[in-house]
């Protein structure tokens, strides 16, 4: 099951990045390489069948570039609040897209994501994690799905 989730997570993340953030993925990287570094993190919990958690962490330069790409503005004009909103949108869209593609999902409801800036990132969600290299640095996503609880 983890292999299927990992493949879906990769393809959905890549599709979201390219379609809505105009950010092509250069290659897949080891997601754990970001642990202990300064990252912008967005996280959400979802209810339903199944329930679970989703987490995204990104280099601050990646978060800024994604925000500029999403809003169609210059990176130098990006404000911290906009960055928080856009990282939350990425978290929301990628999680929703992955869950919608997962065959066994009956229904789900996403909680509002929270965005944080930990000095030394440590993943909170223990699930299937995939990492990506973009032009400005790395980004990783992690999905935990629990089919046994609502």
Partner 1 sequence: MALQILIVDDSPAMRSFIKRVLKLSGIEVDEFHEAGNGLEALSVMLNNPIDAVLTDINMPVMDGETFVRKLRGSGPFIATPVVVISTDATTQRIQTMLSLGAVGYLQKPFGPEQLRNELESVLGVNYE
Pick 19 or 122: Cβ nearer partner 1: 19
Pick 72 or 120: Cβ nearer partner 1: 72
- State in angstroms the smallest separation of the CB of 98 from partner 1: 9
Q: Which region among 32-40, 97-105, 117-125, 130-138 touches partner 1 (by CB under 8 A)?
A: 97-105
- State in angstroms the smallest separation of the CB of 118 from partner 1: 22
Is 8 an interacting residue with respect to partner 1 (CB under 8 A)?
A: no
Is 103 an interacting residue with respect to partner 1 (CB under 8 A)?
A: no
Task: Please tell me the distance from the alpha carbon of residue 115 to that of residue 52, in angstroms, as a whole number.
Answer: 17
114 DSSP 8-state letter: E
* Residue 24: alpha-carbon gap to chain centroid: 15
Dihedral angle at the C-alpha atoms of 101, 47, 131, 128, nearest 10 degrees? -90
Is 108 an interacting residue with respect to partner 1 (CB under 8 A)?
A: yes
Q: Are the C-beta atoms of 90 and 66 separated by less than 8 Å?
A: yes
Task: Please tell me the distance from the alpha carbon of residue 51 to that of residue 144, in angstroms, as a whole number.
Answer: 8
Task: Please tell me the distance from the alpha carbon of residue 34 to that of residue 13, in angstroms, as a whole number.
Answer: 17
Q: Which residues bind partner 1 (CB under 8 A)?
A: 15-16, 19-20, 67, 70-72, 82, 85-86, 88-89, 92-93, 95-97, 99-100, 105-110, 112
């Amino acid at each position: 099951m983890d292999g299927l989730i990992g493949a879906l997570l990769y393809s959905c993340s890549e599709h979201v990045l390219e379609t809505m953030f105009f950010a092509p993925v250069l290659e897949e990287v080891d997601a754990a390489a970001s642990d202990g570094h300064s990252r912008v993190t967005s996280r959400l919990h979802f209810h339903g069948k199944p329930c679970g958690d989703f987490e995204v962490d990104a280099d601050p330069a990646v978060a800024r570039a994604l925000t500029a790409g999403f809003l169609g503005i210059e990176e130098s004009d990006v404000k911290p609040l906009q960055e928080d909103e856009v990282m939350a949108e990425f978290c929301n869209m990628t999680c929703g897209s992955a869950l919608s593609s997962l065959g066994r999902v009956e229904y789900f409801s996403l909680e509002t994501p929270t965005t944080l800036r930990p000095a030394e990132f440590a993943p909170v969600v223990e699930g299937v994690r995939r990492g990506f290299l973009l032009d400005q640095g790395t980004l990783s996503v992690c999905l935990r799905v629990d089919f046994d609880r609502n």
